[in-house]
């Protein structure tokens, strides 16, 4: 028994002595393998990011090149514009094209008409949208859900059908070639009402009940509480409405295409920019006019896009 007791410790210590180098080797190999894996992962990550940036850069060039071509074409002479091969940078900058385009297209009147219609229609549309969204979000009345369901159902109807019925209505009312026909038919937007209603629904109802206990009227609660909390969405609606008024083409051309009420989109389309001497379309002057018309929308999108995204995200609609 004593011999066995003396042998066992010796064997155990010898086994540990032989296993120690093996464990050390395995640990070193495992660490090297981990380093190799991490190196491969870094290489793959860098390759993926590089490919992604290359793709995004290419797509950015594809998207921005038409705008770049519009800008450089607007400051070229007609001779340089017709040169073959085309130049990617103007040899001589002809800024007089902008003066000629502003006078030929009468852009002052077109800008004034468009801004007037846009401001009035946006203001009235905001009032209707806020009151309607508040009624559907907070007030209780019979048939509320059914009525709102019918309003949402109208979003499934093609816009061309509304154009036909609206045109017949304004003809019966005698509104053709007036500012009224450009403002009234599209004051109500079911999408904007739905967007703002969803935002109002996120405001805790306890605030409304507490305000009612304190004797606050619905209008005062709407003005003091709900509108400040929903301000990002209201800013988004304002921007989108103004952009819609600026870009509209079919309806103004159909009902108010006279010079006194012509808006900027169909006003540009009505002009040919034809040179009387050569009977050719003066493309640089036309590009200058398009640049002046597109610049306000471009600036609005660049500087106010965060408000649009913030307002939509606060309403619970992801896109």
Using one digit for the tens of pLDDT, what is the confidence trace for 208-217? Answer: 888 888 888 8
Residue 237 has pLDDT above 80, yes or no: yes
- Note whether 134 and 229 are within 8 A (CB): no
**Bond from prior residue into 85 cis (ω within 30 degrees of 0):** yes
Could you tell me which of 134, 139, 157, 148 has the C-alpha nearest to residue 233? Answer: 134
Read off the DSSP letter of residue 91. Answer: S
Tokens of 143: 């048939």
Percent of the chain whose pLDDT exceeds 90:
10
- Note whether 292 and 102 are within 8 A (CB): yes
Residue 297 has pLDDT above 60, yes or no: yes
89/212 Cα distance (integer angstroms): 66
Query: Residue 85: what pLDDT?
Result: 84
Query: Residue 120: what pLDDT?
Result: 93
Query: Residue 129: what pLDDT?
Result: 93
- Note whether 275 and 282 are within 8 A (CB): yes
Count the helix, strand and coil residues of the chain and give each as a percent rounded to the nearest 5.
75, 0, 20
Could you tell me which of 85, 91, 52 has the C-alpha nearest to residue 72? Answer: 91
Percent of the chain whose pLDDT exceeds 70:
82
Residue 12 vs residue 67, higher pLDDT: 67
| Greatest mean pLDDT among 35-44, 117-126, 310-319 | 117-126
Query: Residue 231 burial by CB count (10 A; 0-12/13-18/19+): exposed, middle or buried?
Result: middle
CA quadruple 90, 96, 99, 102: dihedral positive or negative?
negative
């Amino acid at each position: 028994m004593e011999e066995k007791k003396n042998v066992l410790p010796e064997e155990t210590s010898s086994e540990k002595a032989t296993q120690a180098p093996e464990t050390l080797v395995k640990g070193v190999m495992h660490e090297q393998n981990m380093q190799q894996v991490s190196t491969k992962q870094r290489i793959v990550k860098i390759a993926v990011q590089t490919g992604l940036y290359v793709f995004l850069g290419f797509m950015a060039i594809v998207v921005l090149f038409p705008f770049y071509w519009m800008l450089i074409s607007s400051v070229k002479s007609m001779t340089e514009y017709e040169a073959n091969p085309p130049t990617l940078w103007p040899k001589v900058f002809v800024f007089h094209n902008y003066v000629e385009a502003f006078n030929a297209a009468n852009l002052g009147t077109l800008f004034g008409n468009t801004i007037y219609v846009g401001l009035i229609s946006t203001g009235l549309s905001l009032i209707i949208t806020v009151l309607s969204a508040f009624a559907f979000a907070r007030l209780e009345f019979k048939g509320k859900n059914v009525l709102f369901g019918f309003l949402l159902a109208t979003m499934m109807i093609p816009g061309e059908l509304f154009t036909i019925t609206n045109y017949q209505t304004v003809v019966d009312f005698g509104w053709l070639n007036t500012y009224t026909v450009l403002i009234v038919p599209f004051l109500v937007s079911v999408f904007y009402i739905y967007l703002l209603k969803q935002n109002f629904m996120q405001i805790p109802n306890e605030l409304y009940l507490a305000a009612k206990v304190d004797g606050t009227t619905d209008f005062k609660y709407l003005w003091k509480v709900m509108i400040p909390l929903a301000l990002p969405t209201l800013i988004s609606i304002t921007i989108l409405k103004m952009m819609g008024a600026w870009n509209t083409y079919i309806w103004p051309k159909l009902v108010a295409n006279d010079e006194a009420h012509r808006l900027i989109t169909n006003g540009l389309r009505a002009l040919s920019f034809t040179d009387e001497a050569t009977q050719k379309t003066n493309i640089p002057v036309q590009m200058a006019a398009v640049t002046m018309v597109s610049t306000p929308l471009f600036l609005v999108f660049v500087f106010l896009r965060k408000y649009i995204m913030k307002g939509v995200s606060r309403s619970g609609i992801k896109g």
